[in-house]
Amino acid sequence: MGDNLKQKLAKSIELADKVTSTPNEQISFKQECGELKYKTKKICALLQQAATTSSELYMQRPMQQILKKTEHVLNKTLSLVLKCRTDTIRKRVFNIIPKATFHRTSSQLENTIGNVSWLLYISRCNEDHDSENHILPSIILNDPMVTLIWELIASLCTGSQEYRSDSAASLVSLAHRSNHYGKMIIEEGGVGPLLKLVDEGNTEGQKQEPYLSSKPETPLSYSSPAHLCGRGS
């Protein structure tokens, strides 16, 4: 994991710690803040897991997006919890916060739990990332296709031989279906794992090699797959 991502991850963990370490005795809306702190504690635990398992390149693109949203939500949560502090007479008398504010923040924390849980899900080795039972991240609402591509790339890097072959076929099929999808696969780091599959002598990967360069108008069209990673002449 790059230094920038490590810093962002550390910052999010630090923000979560600040939220959960706020003394209960000095805050109003104890029940509402207690719920926020409980969910933030879960996020902190998930982020700590991510810090130890997310060193692979294929994790960096989704992690960048999810950490950006996570940091934003944790900053808002910390601001709200600090606003609930009753360390002055003025705050004890005039501290009025709408219930809807707590509900909205709680929902955002719940979405964050789902996002980071999904991040850990795709980082696990030798699992079927196409399982119908896993929870899709809320970030999928922004661009469902990029989330699918992230999962396929993760499966291509960590899945069993069967899932790696299936993922390779799916990525190449997407690239040939649309120029936009092809560009997304390149931008999200899918080319390297595809070429690695070819280099390893994977049967499905070798079957896809001519397919990668068979359609001149697509962004994945080069004289050979090696050119996709700058390995060709």
pLDDT in tens, 186-227: 988 888 888 888 887 655 555 544 544 444 444 444 333 444
Domain 3-123 class in CATH: mainly alpha
Q: What confidence score (pLDDT) does residue 162 get?
A: 83
Query: E strands, 26-79, where?
Result: none
Q: How many other C-beta atoms are found inside a 10 Å radius of the C-beta of residue 136?
A: 15
pLDDT in tens, 86-129: 754 445 445 678 889 999 999 999 999 999 998 888 887 555 54
- 10 Å CB burial of residue 13 (0-12, 13-18, 19+) is buried
Give start-end residues of each CATH 1.20.930 domain in the chain: 3-123
Contact 26, 86 (CB under 8 A): yes
More confident residue, 124 or 167: 167
- 10 Å CB burial of residue 168 (0-12, 13-18, 19+) is buried
Q: What confidence score (pLDDT) does residue 121 get?
A: 85
Query: How is residue 135 annotated by DSSP?
Result: P
